[in-house]
Structure 1
Amino acid sequence: MRALVLTGPGRAEVQEVEPPVAAPGQVVVDVERAGVCGTDVELFTGEMSYLHTGRSWYPLRPGHEWCGRVTAVGEGVDAVWLGRRVTGDTMLGCGRCERCRSGRHHVCAELAEIGISLGRPGALAERLAVPATALHALPDAVDPTLGALVEPGANALRAVQGTGLGRGERMLVLGTGTIGLLAALFARSQGIEAHLMGRDPEGLRLARSLGFAAWTRPELPGLPWNAVIDASNAPELPALALDLVEPAGRVVYIGLAAAPSTLDTRDLLLKDVTAVGILGGSAGLRGAVAAYADASVDARPLVAATVGLAETAAVLAGHRPAEAGPGPKIHIDPQR
């Protein structure tokens, strides 16, 4: 089968590789759609920290935002999965430790991540092997575009849940990329007043076209922000989030900067602010599927274009397809 392989920093190619076989407890999925994520780009450029700590290495097969159809099941897997459209959890814990047994498998000490770490092949390929325990069924209302947005949507949903806000309260999202826009969409679906701050003109225009108030830093009004989500990759914004949030509010950190970020814990303490870190969307997958299925969240405008597997390397290198719309997300159809 064809799969995208990262062979070194700045080097990617489509290769013919052995197709996966459904081992005991696993299924094989024919991938319908896969998203290109900032993590994939960092793995491609060589900037991803895992490449320097030994959690990831080349050659590497990326892709962790995906959906597809189950075409084979391994020993011990219920045959009911055959033919079903699914997506799956990126985070694969050992299943034995206390963290896994208590529902915190995303922080398992032996965590492997599909398409990211410990050599687990990813979904930028025609087929993917996945543990059946990681699967989430997709209803017919969730098309391939939405199906491949479940994983980032689950991250964004967890960030919104981390704010602790309820209907009528006000939230500021720092960043108008995929996660920032998804967080605003999920917040609005729950009756939260969501604003965004960014610096990318296209991202700001898209946010406004989706019905949100979106501001640059100089334009940002002095409103009381009950919670702030930092969905950016700017090292100075974690501290700004703490500065902007209301006393006794919450700051949720889901963005990752390439350089270390600093903030003054005295400000955290003296404002009585709760800081929440979000790693992975595992606990939000079911909720993201449900929100897409009942149309309370329509994330499809965030996808600018869908291209074939052969064009993936160019996308990772920063090329934007000529037919791309205003959205921040590029999808890949590995069957093309």
Structure 2
Amino acid sequence: MKAFVVRGPGDAGVEDVPEPAPAAGEVLIQVRRAGVCGTDVEFFTGHMQYLHDGHASYPIRLGHEWMGVVTAVGDGVDPVWVGRRVTGDTMLGCGRCYRCLDGRHHVCEFRTELGIRNGRPGALAERLAYPAAYLHPLPDSVDDAAGALVEPAGNALRSVRAAGLRPGDRALVLGAGTIGLLAAMFARAAGAEVHVMGRSGRSLGFARSLGFEDAWTDETLPELPWDAVIDASNAPHLPALALDLVEPGRRVVYVGLAGSPSAIDTRTLVLKDVTAVGILGGSQGLDGAIEAFANGSVDPRPLVAAVLPLDELAPVLDGVRPEGAGPGPKVHVALPGD
């Protein structure tokens, strides 16, 4: 079958690889749609921290935002899955350790991460072998484009839940990328007044087109009381700014990751009696994201700027915006059968 392989920094393309077969407890999935993420770009450039920590190595097959159709099952898997449209968790725990048994498989020390960590091949391929225990069915009301956005949406929904927002609260989202805009959508659906801070006129203009009229740069951000601040950026100075901006006794949520260490002053954290929450992965938010997409309270599809075939992906990872792309931040790959 065809799969997208990153062979080393700046070296990637479509290759013929062996057809996967579902092991016991796994299913075989015909991938129909997969998203491209900043993590994929970091693997392409060689900057991804897992490469330096020993959790990943080249060659690597990327793809952790996806949806597809189950075509076969391995031993021990209910055949009712065959023919179902599905997506799945990125974080795949060992299932035996204290963290997994405590419902925290996403931080299992022995976890694999699809297309990211410990060698589990990703979904930027025609077919995918995947553990049935981590599948999430997609209703017909969630189309393929939305289905491939469930994974980042799970991160965003967890961030909004962690912010502890109440109807009428004022929330500030730092970062107008995919997760930032999804967080803004979920916060709005929760009844909050949502403001977005970004860097470029293009991204802020797109945020306004989604109904977020209160879209600012750091220079134009008004002095208002912020009941929650969600940092969905990759800027190393913004975690400290989030702490400075949030109202005393409220919450800051960190879901973005900078390429270099970020510092916050814990004296500020203590003296303002602020709760700070870190978010890794969308695991506990996936079902909620699917539900929101299905009932129409959140529509992520405008975020998709372009849909490409697999063999046109490499330039995107190298920073080339596809010709004719719309204003959104997300690029999708359509696989055969989409």
TM-score, with normalisation over the residues of structure 1? 0.99
CA distance in 2, matches of 1:262, 1:99: 28
CA distance in 2, matches of 1:108, 1:215: 38
Residue in structure 1 matched with residue 257 of structure 2 by the alignment? 256
In the alignment, residue 199 of structure 1 is paired with which amino acid?
R
CA distance in 2, matches of 1:225, 1:133: 39
CA distance in 2, matches of 1:186, 1:335: 32
How far the C-alpha of 1:203 sits from its partner, in A, is 1.1
Preserved contact between residue 35 and residue 330 of structure 1 (Cα < 8 Å): yes
Is residue 2:196 matched to residue 1:174? no
Preserved contact between residue 309 and residue 335 of structure 1 (Cα < 8 Å): no
SS in 2 for 1:291: helix
Residue in structure 2 matched with residue 221 of structure 1 by the alignment? 222
C-alpha distance after superposition, 1:191-239 (max 9, x if no partner): 1111100112211001111111100111111110001000000000000
Preserved contact between residue 85 and residue 137 of structure 1 (Cα < 8 Å): yes
C-alpha distance after superposition, 1:285-326 (max 9, x if no partner): 000000000110001110001000001111111111111000
Identity %: 66
How far the C-alpha of 1:334 sits from its partner, in A, is 2.3
Is residue 2:273 matched to residue 1:268? no
CA distance in 1, matches of 2:89, 2:198: 29
CA distance in 2, matches of 1:168, 1:78: 45
How far the C-alpha of 1:89 sits from its partner, in A, is 0.4
CA distance in 1, matches of 2:261, 2:93: 27
CA distance in 2, matches of 1:308, 1:237: 35
Preserved contact between residue 175 and residue 231 of structure 2 (Cα < 8 Å): yes
Residue in structure 2 matched with residue 282 of structure 1 by the alignment? 283
Residue in structure 2 matched with residue 210 of structure 1 by the alignment? 210
Residue in structure 2 matched with residue 22 of structure 1 by the alignment? 22
In the alignment, residue 251 of structure 2 is paired with which amino acid?
R
CA distance in 1, matches of 2:200, 2:61: 30
Preserved contact between residue 171 and residue 225 of structure 1 (Cα < 8 Å): yes
Pairwise CA RMSD: 0.7
SS in 2 for 1:267: helix
Residue in structure 2 matched with residue 90 of structure 1 by the alignment? 90
In the alignment, residue 111 of structure 2 is paired with which amino acid?
L
How far the C-alpha of 1:240 sits from its partner, in A, is 0.3
Is residue 2:296 matched to residue 1:304? no
CA distance in 2, matches of 1:143, 1:211: 22
How far the C-alpha of 1:48 sits from its partner, in A, is 0.3
How far the C-alpha of 1:117 sits from its partner, in A, is 0.7
In the alignment, residue 161 of structure 2 is paired with which amino acid?
Q
How far the C-alpha of 1:273 sits from its partner, in A, is 0.5
SS in 2 for 1:326: coil
How far the C-alpha of 1:263 sits from its partner, in A, is 1.1
CA distance in 1, matches of 2:164, 2:61: 37
Preserved contact between residue 234 and residue 257 of structure 2 (Cα < 8 Å): yes
Preserved contact between residue 269 and residue 275 of structure 2 (Cα < 8 Å): yes
CA distance in 2, matches of 1:231, 1:29: 31
Number of aligned positions between the proteins? 336
In the alignment, residue 225 of structure 1 is paired with which amino acid?
W
Preserved contact between residue 30 and residue 71 of structure 1 (Cα < 8 Å): yes
SS in 1 for 2:60: coil
How far the C-alpha of 1:177 sits from its partner, in A, is 0.3
Is residue 2:37 matched to residue 1:37? yes
In the alignment, residue 264 of structure 2 is paired with which amino acid?
L
C-alpha distance after superposition, 1:93-129 (max 9, x if no partner): 0000111011100010101100001000000000011
Preserved contact between residue 87 and residue 148 of structure 1 (Cα < 8 Å): yes
Preserved contact between residue 308 and residue 334 of structure 2 (Cα < 8 Å): yes
Is residue 2:111 matched to residue 1:108? no
Q: Which runs of 5+ in 1 are unaligned?
A: none
Moved over 6 A (4+): none
C-alpha distance after superposition, 1:118-159 (max 9, x if no partner): 000000000011100010000001111000000000000000
In the alignment, residue 226 of structure 2 is paired with which amino acid?
W
CA distance in 1, matches of 2:162, 2:19: 39
In the alignment, residue 92 of structure 1 is paired with which amino acid?
L
C-alpha distance after superposition, 1:258-307 (max 9, x if no partner): 01001111010110000000000000000000000011000111000100
CA distance in 2, matches of 1:306, 1:328: 12
CA distance in 2, matches of 1:314, 1:143: 27
Q: Which runs of 5+ in 2 are unaligned?
A: none
Preserved contact between residue 165 and residue 190 of structure 2 (Cα < 8 Å): no
Residue in structure 2 matched with residue 201 of structure 1 by the alignment? 201
In the alignment, residue 196 of structure 2 is paired with which amino acid?
L
In the alignment, residue 135 of structure 1 is paired with which amino acid?
L
How far the C-alpha of 1:335 sits from its partner, in A, is 1.8
SS in 2 for 1:29: strand
CA distance in 2, matches of 1:144, 1:318: 25
Preserved contact between residue 31 and residue 68 of structure 1 (Cα < 8 Å): yes
In the alignment, residue 222 of structure 1 is paired with which amino acid?
E
